[in-house]
Amino acid sequence: MLGVVRVRFAPSPTGYLHVGGARTALFNWLYARRHGGTFVLRIEDTDAERSSWDMVQGIVDGLHWLGLDWDEGPDVNGPHAPYFQSQRLEKYREHAQVLVREGKAYADEGAIRFKVPEGQTSFEDLVHGPVRFENEHIENFVILRSDGHPTYHLSVVVDDLDMEITHVVRGDDHISNTPKQVLLYQAFRRTPPAFAHVPLIMGPDKKRLSKRHGATSVMEYPRLGYLPEAMVNFLALLGWSPGGDEELFTRDELVSRFTLEGISGGNAVFNTEKLDWFNQQHMLRLPLDDLAARVEPFLRDAGLWSEEFRDGRRAWFLEVLALLRPRVKRVGQFAEDGRPFFEDAVQYEPDAVKKHMKPELREPFDAWRAVLMSTEPFEPAALEAALRRFAESGGVKAASLIHATRVAVTGRAASPGLFEVIVLVGRERTLARMTSALALFG
RNA sequence: GUCCCCAUCGUCCAGAGGCCCAGGACGUGGCCCUUUCAAGGCCAAAACACGGGUUCGAAUCCCGUUGGGGACGCCA
C-alpha cells in the first residue's frame, strides 16, 4: 500500500458549493491526480435536519462544472460504499460501543461522550508544521447523539479509517477539531492520516466570504460568464503557488505541478478583478469552435442566436467572435458587444451620436457613403485606403469620418477596428445603416 | 474570555541566512501602437507590522507585542 494516495472531499449538504469548498475540493482532486491516487466524494449528512437532496445535487453540479471528477462516491460507488454518512449509521454506533466497552467513552444523558485523557495531543500538519494542544483545553466531547446519530468527530474518523484515506486536506477552520480526532484515532489504536489544513478565503474586507461580498456559490459563475478553466486556475493560485512566476495554467499543467507543501499559511482574499483577468486570458486561448459553444447559450438568452451560426454562416460567426474576443472579459459580453453583428436594427447611444455626428460632417459622410457602395474588394485594407483617399481629397479628417461611420454602423463610440466591423456587418447592412444615420447629424 | 493558526506591495504569490537597498501577477498611473475601445509592448509608484534577541550577516531562525483569522455545539 506504500505510495497510494487516497483523499476525499466531504461536504455537508447544508448549503450550496461555495468557492471555499470548491477550492478545497480542487486541492484534493489535484493531489489525487498528481499522484495517480483516488479522489473520494463523501456526503456528510448526519445532520438529517439540515441536509437536503437538493444541496447534494447543487454540490455535484458545482464539481461537474469545475471538471472535478471523483473515483468513488455517490452514483459511482466503489469498494467502500455507501458514500452517504446517513447510510453508515451502524458503523458509527459499533465504534462508539467499542469505546464504551473499553472505558474510553461513557453514556451521558442518552448521548455518548469521549473521555479525553490527560496530556497533550499533537500532529504534524503539512502546511502548518507541528501543532500541539493541551488536552485540558479539550472537553469530553459527544461522539454519538442521543438520537443515535454520530457527531462529526466520530463519523469523520470512522469513515476516513474505513475508506483508507491517507491525506486529509480540508479548511483551516478544522484545525482545532483535529486533536479530538487524533485522540479518537489513538483510542482505536490506529495511525491518523496526514493532515493539510488550507487557509480560508476571505472577502475584500478580510472578513469571511459571505453573500454580501457577491457571488459565493460556484454555480453563479457560469451564469456570470466565467469559464471553468479560468475559475480552476484562479482558485488554484489562491493560497497555493507552483513556486515560480508563471500564473496561467491549464488543468493538466496544474496537476503536474501541484504539491501540498506549496500551500501558504495565511488567509487569502478573493479578488474578482484577477478572476476577470484569468477569464479573459483563458478565453483568448480557447479554440474558436470551443468558444462558440460557450457563447451560444448567452446569445440564445439574448434572442440573438441563429441556427445558421452552426453551418451556413459558421465561418462568419467565428470571425465575429475572434474580432470581439480581445475586449471581452466575460462570455456574456459577446451578446452585448455583438449586437451590431447579430441584429439588424441598431440602437444609437445618444452620447455617441452627439459627440461624433457633427452637422458639418453630413455632406462628406454622405459622399463617403456613395464611395463605399462601389469600393472593391470589400476588405478592410481596401476600405481603409478608400476612406483615407477620400478624406484627403475632400479636406476632411479621416478620424472624424471614421468616428461618424462607427456610430452609424454600430450605434456606439467604441468598437473593434471599423473596417473589420464593416466587412463583417456586410455592405448592404452598412449602407442601409449609413443611410438612416443621415438623419442623425446635427 | 480560553485555545489554535497567520503576518512581504491595495490584492494574490516568489523568497526556505548572504544571490534581496526584495522578484512576478492583478489592479493603478504614464508612454508606445492606434480610427475608438480593448488586446499587446515598455516604464513607474507600491511591501518585508513593531520591538528584542541569535549570527560575521535575517524578509528568512527564536522570543515578545500588536494586528487579522479560526475554534470553543448532541453543526459540519
pLDDT digits (tens, 9 = 90+) for A340-382: 999 999 999 999 999 999 999 999 999 999 999 999 999 999 9
Please answer whether residues A40 and A6 qualify as being in contact, where contact means their C-beta atoms are separated by less than 8 angstroms: yes
Residue A135 to residue A113: CA distance in whole angstroms: 15
CB atoms within 10 A of CB A39: 23
What is the Cα–Cα distance from A99 to A229, expressed in whole angstroms? 46
Q: What is the largest CA-CA distance in chain A?
A: 102
What does the CA dihedral A285, A289, A290, A295 come to, rounded to 10 degrees?
100
Q: Are A159 and A42 in contact (CB under 8 A)?
A: yes
Best CA proximity match to A284, nearest among A324, A341, A255: A324
CA of A259 to C1' of B61 (A): 25
Rounded distance between C-alpha atoms, residue A233 and residue A285, angstroms? 13
> What CATH number has the domain spanning A350-441?
1.10.10.350
Q: Which nucleotide is nearest to A50 (CA to C1')?
A: B75
Please state the domain extents for chain A: 89-198, 211-282, 286-342, 350-441
* Angle made by CA atoms A301, A299, A68, in degrees to the nearest 5: 85
Q: Which nucleotide is nearest to A420 (CA to C1')?
A: B35
Which nucleotide lies nearest residue A271, CA to C1'? B11
How far CA A255 is from CA of A30, A42, A160, in Å, comes to 5, 22, 24
% of chain A at pLDDT higher than 70: 99
Q: Which residue is nearest to nucleotide B26 (CA to C1')?
A: A274
The CA–C1' separation of A377 and B67, in angstroms, is 68
A227 Cβ contact list (under 8 Å, min separation 6): A279, A282, A283, A286, A294, A331
Whether the beta carbon of A326 falls within 7 A of nucleic chain B: the reply is yes
CATH class of A89-198: alpha beta
**From the Cβ of A128, is strand B under 7 Å away?**
yes
Helix axis angle for A228-236 and A272-285, nearest 10°, is 130
CA of A150: nucleotide with nearest C1':
B74
Provide the ipTM: 0.96
Determine phi and psi for A119, rounding to 5 degrees. Answer: 115, -150
Binning pLDDT at 50, 70 and 90, where does residue A1 land? very low
Radius of gyration of chain A (CA): 30
- The mean pLDDT of A6-19, rounded to a whole number, is 95
Please report, rounded to whole angstroms, the spatial distance between the CA atom of protein residue A247 and the C1' atom of nucleotide B13. 9
Alpha-carbon gap, residue A258 to A85, rounded angstroms: 30
Asked if strand B contacts A133 at the CB level, meaning under 7 A, the answer is yes
Residue A49 to residue A88: CA distance in whole angstroms: 17
**pLDDT (tens digit, 9 = 90+) per residue, A140-171?**
999 999 999 999 999 999 999 999 999 999 99
Model pLDDT, residue A3: 67
Q: Which fold has domain A286-342?
A: Helicase, Ruva Protein; domain 3 (1.10.8)
Residue A411: exposure state from Cβ atoms within 10 A (0-12, 13-18, ≥19)? buried
Q: What is the mean pLDDT of residues A397-423?
A: 98
Q: Do A320 and A424 touch, CB atoms closer than 8 A?
A: yes
CA angle A391, A394, A395 (to 5 degrees): 80
* pLDDT per position as a tens digit, A176-198: 999 999 999 999 999 999 999 99
Q: Are A225 and A302 in contact (CB under 8 A)?
A: no
Q: Is a pLDDT exceeding 80 seen at residue A331?
A: yes
Determine the residue type at A381.
A
Amino acid whose CA is nearest the C1' of B70: A173
Nucleotides of B under 7 A from a protein CB: 2-8, 10-15, 23-27, 35-40, 68-76
Q: What is the mean pLDDT of chain A?
A: 96
In Å, what is the separation between the CA of A164 and the C1' of B13? Answer: 33
Question: What is the predicted pLDDT for the residue at A29?
Answer: 98
Which nucleotide's C1' is closest to A234 (Cα)?
Answer: B12
What single-letter DSSP state applies at residue A77?
A: B
Residue–nucleotide distance: A11 CA to B16 C1' (Å)? 34
Q: Which nucleotide is nearest to A244 (CA to C1')?
A: B14
pLDDT, tens only, A57-93: 999 999 999 999 999 999 999 999 999 999 999 999 9
Does the CB of A177 sit below 7 A from strand B?
Answer: yes
Tell me the H-state helices in A102-148.
none
The answer to whether strand B lies under 7 Å from the CB of residue A23 is: no
Exactly one of A180, A206, A207, A211 is catalytic; which is it? Answer: A211
Q: Which CATH superfamily is domain A211-282 in?
A: Glutamyl-trna Synthetase; Domain 2 (1.10.1160.10)
Residues 403-432 of A with CB under 7 A from strand B: 403, 406, 413-420
Nucleotide B19 C1' to residue A243 CA (A): 17
A266 CA – B69 C1', rounded, Å? 9
Residue A211 annotated as catalytic: yes
